[in-house]
């Protein structure tokens, strides 16, 4: 690559970064109804530059979400060497809950796009992977029960994220309470009840998010687990 080509690429990367930063700032200030012309103006570029980087406003929103997810992955990796693996896992979950609260509109706008957007799917898979590493370290340290998988944690944690969004303006302690309940459910001590079924996988979650093409057979009634011992 020639110096001139490197300069053009650097300019393009700066423009893309300015567009992402401008869009994120405007969305937080005024919501997702902000137009692309205002985003381009805030970034100091023309609309043509915006559309050379992003085919649509929806693509721009998706790119911001991918950025946020990538940031979360970076923070999780920074916790992999923490002295207390159990605390590291729950610190990461608290970070994610805060991001979900801050970026609620963005994640709601993306909706089920992660099923068809390769970049969002890849970022989601990265989060699942690093979550699995944090979980494994916590389990090896005896802080978390050994029979749960990363998707178990993420499925349960979805409720905490929803609470973070719904109750942020009411009482942030409600969110902390939900995270405390999740922590209690995952504790290795005292000895937990055995879990029924298998740990779900990322593929299970993707399939669950898709609309069924045939009538769904009702599940058998769920009976309470028998007390241990």
Residue 73 to residue 129: CA distance in whole angstroms: 9
| CATH 3.40.50.150 applies to domain 7-54 | no
Radius of gyration of the chain (CA): 21
Please tell me the class of the 57-190+199-209 domain: mainly alpha
Q: What pLDDT was estimated at residue 120?
A: 87
What distances in angstroms separate CA 38 from CA 23, 31, 45, 53, one per listed residue?
A: 9, 13, 10, 16
Q: What pLDDT was estimated at residue 44?
A: 95
In the chain, which residues have pLDDT < 50? Answer: 214-229
Q: How many CB atoms lie within 10 A of CB 99?
A: 19
Can you tell me whether residue 196 is helix, strand or coil? coil
Domain segments of the chain as ranges: 7-54, 57-190+199-209
Torsion sign across C-alpha atoms 137, 141, 143, 149: positive
Q: What pLDDT was estimated at residue 167?
A: 67
Strand partners, 187: 144
Q: What pLDDT was estimated at residue 217?
A: 46
Q: What pLDDT was estimated at residue 192?
A: 63
Q: What pLDDT was estimated at residue 168?
A: 62
User: Would you say 72 and 127 are in contact if contact means Cβ atoms under 8 Å apart?
Assistant: yes
Q: What pLDDT was estimated at residue 219?
A: 42
Q: What pLDDT was estimated at residue 137?
A: 97
The full DSSP string for 27-81 is HHHH-TT--HHHHHHHHTS-HHHHHHH-SSHHHHHHHHHHHHHHHHHHHHHHTTT
Peptide bond into 166 cis (omega under 30): no
- The three-point CA angle 27-33-36 to 5° equals 80
Q: What pLDDT was estimated at residue 12?
A: 86
Q: What pLDDT was estimated at residue 8?
A: 57
pTM of the model: 0.76
């Amino acid at each position: 690559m020639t110096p001139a080509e490197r300069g053009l690429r650097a300019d393009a990367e700066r423009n893309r970064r300015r567009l992402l930063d401008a869009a994120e700032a405007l969305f937080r200030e005024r919501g997702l109804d902000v137009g692309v012309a205002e985003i381009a103006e805030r970034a100091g570029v023309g609309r043509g530059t915006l559309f050379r980087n992003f085919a649509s406003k929806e693509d721009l929103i998706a790119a911001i979400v991918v950025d946020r997810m990538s940031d979360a992955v970076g923070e999780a990796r920074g916790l992999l060497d923490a002295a207390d693996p159990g605390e590291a896992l729950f610190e990461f979950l608290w970070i994610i809950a805060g991001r979900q609260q801050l970026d609620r509109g963005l994640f709601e706008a993306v909706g089920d796009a992660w099923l068809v957007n390769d970049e969002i799917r890849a970022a989601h898979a990265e989060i699942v992977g690093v979550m699995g590493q944090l979980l494994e370290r916590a389990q090896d340290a005896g802080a978390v029960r050994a029979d749960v998988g990363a998707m178990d944690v993420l499925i349960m944690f979805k409720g905490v994220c929803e609470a973070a969004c719904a109750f942020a303006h009411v009482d942030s302690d409600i969110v902390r309470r939900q995270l405390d309940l999740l922590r209690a459910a995952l504790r290795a001590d005292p000895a937990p009840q055995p879990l029924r079924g298998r740990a779900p996988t990322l593929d299970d979650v993707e399939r669950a998010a898709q609309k069924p093409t045939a009538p769904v057979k009702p599940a058998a009634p769920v009976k309470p687990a028998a007390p241990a011992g």
